[in-house]
Each structure stands twice: as structure tokens, then as C-alpha cells.
Structure 1
Amino acid sequence: MNIPSIVFLVLALFIFLSCFFTVKQQSAIIIERFGRFQSVRNSGLQLKIPIIDRIAGRVNLKIQQLDVVIETKTKDNVFVKIKVSVQFKVIQEKVYDAFYKLEYPHDQITAYVFDVVRAEVPKLILDDVFERKDDIAIAVKRELNEAMTTYGYDIINTLVTDIDPDIQVKNAMNRINAADREKTATEFEAESARIRIVAKAKAEAESKRLQGQGIADQRREIARGLVESVEVLNKVGINSQEASALIVVTQHYDTLQAIGADTNSNLILLPNTPQAANDMLNNMVVSFAASNQVGEAMKKHQIETKGKPSVVRKNRPESPENPDIIV
């Protein structure tokens, strides 16, 4: 076999193999014939005419995500950076539009996101931006769907994933939140203290009520015992007045005996009525006066008898064992 034949066979084999190509899953291939759109080929083994047909491009049919960071100003003049994540994919039935009508889809999506966010956020104050971020995401998705469907793109979802205000604003917000939490904690502590005070007051009231009831029961039993004691004494011929006096005296001495039985007691019993205290004071004054009179009499007697000799009685034997001396 000569060389031209070999070259021809190699060339024929190359042309034959170039007729076949494969398309990956979740992707599509655009086939052009002499520079004009011919067809869209989906996943699997495909066939094309060598030299005449060519692969113009590949289109990804998977869901893609584009993160867009926008800096804008809120209604209360606070600059914030908002990160919006857009999830989109090419509609399989509109691969032609996605490939030929739009050159840079990411730039197109970014422009629409900027437009919507900068139109919505300046209407809100900073706190509302955090609370209504879902409304911002819905507005972005609605605007993108209306614009990108024409170009063969389907917007799956839009998410506001980050809201980042200025660092000084964040510090101020943190201080406000800390103050609010401290206020709430103080209110709870005050309520807890109030509950404890109320519970303690109720417990004390109940304790006093029970204590009063116990004292009343005790006095009732004492009175019943006294009545029984008077009845017993009446049966033996002692009238009620004498019986009462006897019971009082008995209880008085029983009390003194109980107090005296305690060796560690430092109790001193004093009269506990104004009249008794007055009597005690008068008795003390009388005692002091009597003592002074006795002292003055003794001094006077000593002065009168000073210098006189002693007199020895002669009617008794004079002995050292039994002297009788008068001064």
C-alpha cells in the first residue's frame, strides 16, 4: 500500500469520527451550518455532518447562583451593603434565546438587581430593612422574572443573605439591644422580687392567723379548765370567789417555780403595774429615810458619850470570860 492510500484512509477515519460527538447531562450544544443556526442537541451521542456542521457553543442547564453586593442608603440616611444571591437557570425550551439574545447574562442580572434594590431600600429605615428583607427579595425576583424570561432565563429564587451597615451604626445598634435586654432583665428581676415579697407577706399573714387561732384555742382550753377546777372546789364547799383566788395563787407559784427551775435563767421579777412600781419607790424612799435617821441617832449618841469612863457591873463576877461593859 502506497503512502497516498494511507493518508486517504487516515483522513477518511478522521472525518468519520468527527461525525460523532457526545453531550453531557444538564447541558445543550448549539449546532451551526455554515455560520447559521442549525439545531440544539441535548445530552447523549449525537451526529453532525463533518466540515459542514460545527459546534457553536455549549449552554449550561444547571441551576446557577450569582451573588451581587450593592451599597445603598436607607431612608434614615444610613449606608448599608446588601448581598443578594440570585439562583437562575436556562429554560431548556429556550436555549436558542439564551445563547443568541444575551451576550453577558451575569451582567444583565446584576444590573437589574442594582436597579431594584436601590429603588426599594431608600424607602425604608434601617430597622425595616432587616425586618422586610424578604419583601426586597420578592421585588428583585419579580423584576428579574419579567426581564429575563424574554432571554430564556428562569429566576428560581432570590435571597437577601447579608445586610451590613456601617461599623459605627452596628456598634450603636448593639448598645441599644444591650440596653433593651438590660431593661427587660431588670423588669423580670423586679417582678420576681415583688412575687417573693407578696408570697412572704401571705405566708406571714397565714402564720399569724394560725398563731392567733392557736392562742385562742389555748385560752379557750385554759378557761374550760378553770371552770372545771371551780366546779370541783365548789363541790368540797369552797365558794367561787375563794376558788378563783386559790387558782390564781396556785398558778402564780407554779409560774415562779417553773422560772426558778431553770438554772441558766437571768430573769428578775419586778412589779409590772404603775401602782406597784410607785409602792416600791415609796418603800425605798422610806427605807432610805429610816436609815438616815438611825445613822444620825448613832452619831449623836457617840458624841454625847465621848470621854466618859466605862462602868463595870458589880452584880456579876468580874472575869475575862464574862465582862459586862457599858460605854
Structure 2
Amino acid sequence: MGTFAGIFIVVIVFFIIISGIFTVKQQTAALVERFGKFLSIRNSGLHFKVPLVDRIAGKINLKIQQLDVNIETKTKDDVFVILKVSVQYQVTRARIYDAFYKLESPSAQITSYVFDVVRAEVPKMKLDDVFVRKDDVANAVKSELNDAMLDYGYDIIRTLVTDIDPDDKVKASMNRINASEREKIAAEFEGETERIKIVAVARAEAESKRLQGQGIADQRREIARGLEESVEVLNKVGINSQEASALIVVTQHYDTLQSIGSQTNSNLILMPNSPEAGSNMLNDMIASFTAASQIGDEMKKQNDRKAIQEKPD
């Protein structure tokens, strides 16, 4: 009986000693109390506490943690939006005691401050400004949280506005506006493309007309040169310039009639086509040139006399 009691006592003592041994994981801190009073902070590793006297009051996570907060608020132009703000925070090693004993629920405290800041900042902005200046909202939240949570042993690493979700009707209206704007831009591009095509066609036609005119001018120049050479040849055999011109016109007249007659499907009619037509045309042209030259000389004489009379003494 005594031996059994001794074994029992040894076993009890062994379990009591074993109960005093504990481990703390990496990036974690354990707070030990003795008779309900804070005793020490134990970091990662193997530790010992006095059995039945000391107890682990709790463990605190030293990793960077993230809290997502959804806030519904109204913008300056009376549009309700839901903002999702992500807060990344961490317990500072130097203030583990404050983080554990001063604050009952850090997530609830952070959420309250986020609500307060967002509902103070967003109503100052229009909906479009909220999208553009979301970083300003995030920085305002971070600044306010840093000042408030530092006393509780929490360091705010980063705050991000990760989502902005307007009312469904507002989103539908925004989509219609964007679609209309894109259609407007597409129409402008199509109009510009059509204008470029028209300009290109006009330039091509202008270039074609220029080349056509140049070709006609070159053709007439060569014709005139040939006529000049023909007149010179005829002058050498005793035919004067007027007779030579008449002979050339009549020759070309009959060459044209012969060309028309050789084409069965031609619709061209040359008028007049009598034998004396070429000579009559030439005489009419010479008479017109002579009359125009006389009128020009007379006008020049009148202008000279008028200029002499108006000249001051």
C-alpha cells in the first residue's frame, strides 16, 4: 500500500512539473501572470512557469494582420457608395503589454476609426473624385489610425481602398455615359477617316488634271513646232506664210474627214465639211487677230495721251 501511494505521488509531481513547461511559436508572444498579476512576456521558444502559481494569460500574434472594412456612405453629389478599406496592422514588440491589456477588441476599434474617417472625407467629394482620389482617402485613414492606435501598441502598416461600389442604378448610368462617349469618339474617328479619303481623292484628281493639262500643253507645243517647221518648208518653195497656213488647215481638215470615215462606229460629226471650209476658217481667224491688234494699239495710244494730260507741269 505504501509503495502504491509513493508511485501515485511521483506521478502527480511529474505531471505538475510537466504542466509548467510550455512553448511559444514563432512571431507570437505569451503573457504570463502570477496569481492574476502580470509577470512577464515570453517570446518564441521553450519556457517554464511555476505550476499552480503561474498561468498563461494569453498569446498575441506579432504577424502583420489585415482587417477589411466595408463602409456605406454618400458622396457630395448624393450618390451612395460602398467602400472597402483594407487595413494592415501589427503589434509592436516594445508595447505588447499595452496591446494585450489596454484594448479589448482591436478589430472593433480599428473599424470604428475607419468608419469615422471615411464618412468625414467622402461626403466632401463627388463620385468621380472618389475614384480619382481614393489614395487620399486611404492616407487620411492611415494618419488617423496611426495617431489613435499607437497608444494601444498597434502600428498601422498600410491602408488601401480596394473597392468602390456605387449603387446599381448609378453604375448603369455611368456605363451608358461611357458607351455614349465611346460612340462619339468612334464617330469622330470615322468622320476623320472619311475626310482623309475625300482629301486623298481630291488630291489625286488635282494631280491627274495637272498631268493631263501638262500633256495637252506638251501636245500643242509639239503641234505648233511641227506647224512652224511645215511653214518654213513651204516658204522655201515660194509659198508665203498665209498661203502655207491655209494649205495646212485644209490638209488637216481632210485628214480628219478621212479618219472619221474609216471608223464605222463613230458618232463624231465635223461641221462644216465643204472644200472651202478650211480656207474660210483661216481667213476668219486672220481677220479676228488683225482687228484685235488694231483695237489694242488704239487703246494704248488713248492711255498715253491721257497720261500726258494728267502729268503736272
Please classify the TM superposition score into its range, dividing by the shorter chain length. 0.7 to 0.9
Query: Residue 129 of structure 2 aligns with which residue?
Result: 128
CA deviation after TM superposition for structure 1 residue 271, in Å: 4.5
The 2-side partners of 1:32 and 1:189 are apart by 79
- Alpha-carbon distance between aligned partners in 1 of 2:272 and 2:146, rounded to the nearest angstrom: 104
Are 2:63 and 2:91, in contact at CA under 8 Å, matched by a contact in 1? Answer: yes
Q: Residue type matched to 2:107 in 1? A: H
The alignment-based identity, stated in percent, is 73
Describe the superposition over 1:44-101 as per-residue Cα deviations: whole angstroms up to 9, x where unpaired: 2222222222111111111111111111111111211111111111112211111111
User: TM-score scaled by structure 1?
Assistant: 0.78
- Letter paired with 1:94: R
Tell me what 2:233 maps to.
232
Match of 1:186 in 2: 187
Verify: 1:99 aligned to 2:92, yes or no: no
Q: Which amino acid aligns with 1:151?
A: Y
Shift of 1:146: 0.6
Secondary structure of 2:32's counterpart equals: strand
1:161, 1:271 → 2: CA distance?
Answer: 93
The residue that corresponds to 2:306 in the other structure is: none
Distance 1:83 1:131 in 2: 15
Q: How many residues matched?
A: 273
Displacement after TM superposition at 1:112 (Å): 0.3
- The answer on whether the counterparts of 2:75 and 2:127 sit within 8 Å (CA) in structure 1 is yes
Other-structure match for 1:39: 40
Larger radius of gyration between Structure 1 and Structure 2: 1
Written as runs of structure 1 = structure 2, the 5 A alignment for 1:189-208 is 189-208=190-209
Question: Which structure 2 residues correspond to residues 209-248 of structure 1 after superposition, within 5 A?
Answer: 209-248=210-249
Amino acid at match of 1:116: V
Native 8 Å contact 2:257 2:270 kept in 1: no
> Which residue in 2 is equivalent to 1:140?
141
Match of 1:156 in 2: 157
- Give the aligned partner of residue 91 of structure 2: 90
> By how many angstroms is 1:270 displaced?
4.4
2:130 is paired with a residue whose SS is: helix
Q: Hey, what does 1:308 align to over in structure 2?
A: none
CA distance in 1, matches of 2:33, 2:193: 80
Distance in 2 separating the partners of 1:260 and 1:105:
112
Q: 1:261–1:39: structure 2 CA closer, same or farther, 3 Å change rule? A: farther
DSSP-derived class of the 1:238 partner: coil
Letter of the aligned partner of 1:103 in structure 2? E
Q: Would the alpha carbon gap of residues 32 and 271 (structure 1) be closer, same or farther in structure 2, given more than 3 Å must change? A: farther
RMSD of aligned residue pairs (Cα, Å): 2.0
Cα drift, residue 107 of structure 1: 0.4
Inter-partner Cα distance in structure 1 for 2:146 and 2:178: 38
Rounded to whole Å, the distance in 2 between the matches of 1:44 and 1:258 is: 118
Per-residue CA deviation, residues 165-200 of structure 1 (Å, 9 max, x unaligned), is 221111112112222222222222222222322232
